Homo-oligomer: A and B are copies of this chain.
Amino acid sequence: MAWMHAVNHTRGRPRDVRVDDALAQTVRKLLTEVGYASLTMDVVAQRAGVGKAAIYRRYSSKAELVFASVVHQMAPTPAPDTGSLRGDLRMLAAEIYTTLTDPVVASATPGFLAELADKPDVAQRLREGLFAREQAEVTDLLARAVGRGELADVPEAALVHSAMLGSMFAWLSMLHHPSDAGLPAQVADFVYAALAGKPADGRALIV
């Protein structure tokens, strides 16, 4: 099947791979420097030493360019399995937290969410490329917990995913509470408590 990709590009000058790298690096740097809104295509081209046509030949819009550049070298994170539901949740929470607080991701996310409102196609690709894998991890993690006998029934993965991702996103980006290394564990334990029926933070349940 590999030949599929090797379509005879042998007509005219081949794409310069250094362009792709320069773009990704430049976009990532600019995102942290000025943010998504003030990142302009002209400046990207100039700083990357690249023509605008070379950009639009690869990405059809600013949103796609930024998306690709942000995802570019995002952790592939194969799989965790720590042996316990609580451990798995903490692992996942830490992973999500790391992503959300990454300077590049944090700079791109809000502007990104804004564009998704208008462009369902980009939104679709974002969800598939970014969130689908995460959600699959949640599904696996829950299945493992059921297998271990930690949970009687498998809860809805989407809800658990929303709880973990959303809690941290709201904490950081909406309520603008300070970034705190203890946050992911807190959230993971909170979710664990909800699933396992043990009060969060080991607090005793009275009635």
Please report the total number of A residues contacting B with Cβ < 8 Å. Answer: 59
Interface residues of A in 179-207 (CB under 8 A from B): 186-187, 190-191, 193-201, 203-207
- Give the dominant DSSP class at A's interface: helix
Q: A150 in the interface, Cβ–Cβ < 8 Å?
A: yes
Q: Which of B159, B163, B186, B196 contacts A205 (CB 8 A)?
A: B196
Residue of B nearest to A177 (CB): B158
A164-181 interface code vs B (CB 8 A; 1 in, 0 out): 011111110111110000
Q: A114-B111, A114-B113 are in contact. Are A127 and B197 (CB under 8 A)?
A: no
Q: A57 to nearest B CB, angstroms?
A: 14
Q: A86 to nearest B CB, angstroms?
A: 12
Residues A152 and B36 in contact, CB atoms below 8 Å apart: no
A76 to B163, CA, bound (A): 27
Residues B166 and A174 in contact, CB atoms below 8 Å apart: yes
8 closest residue pairs by CB, A with B: A166-B170, A166-B166, A194-B194, A114-B114, A197-B199, A197-B205, A162-B171, A193-B194
Interfacial residues, chain A to chain B (CB-CB below 8 A): 35-38, 107, 110-118, 123, 127, 131, 135, 149-153, 155, 158-159, 161-163, 165-171, 173-177, 186-187, 190-191, 193-201, 203-207
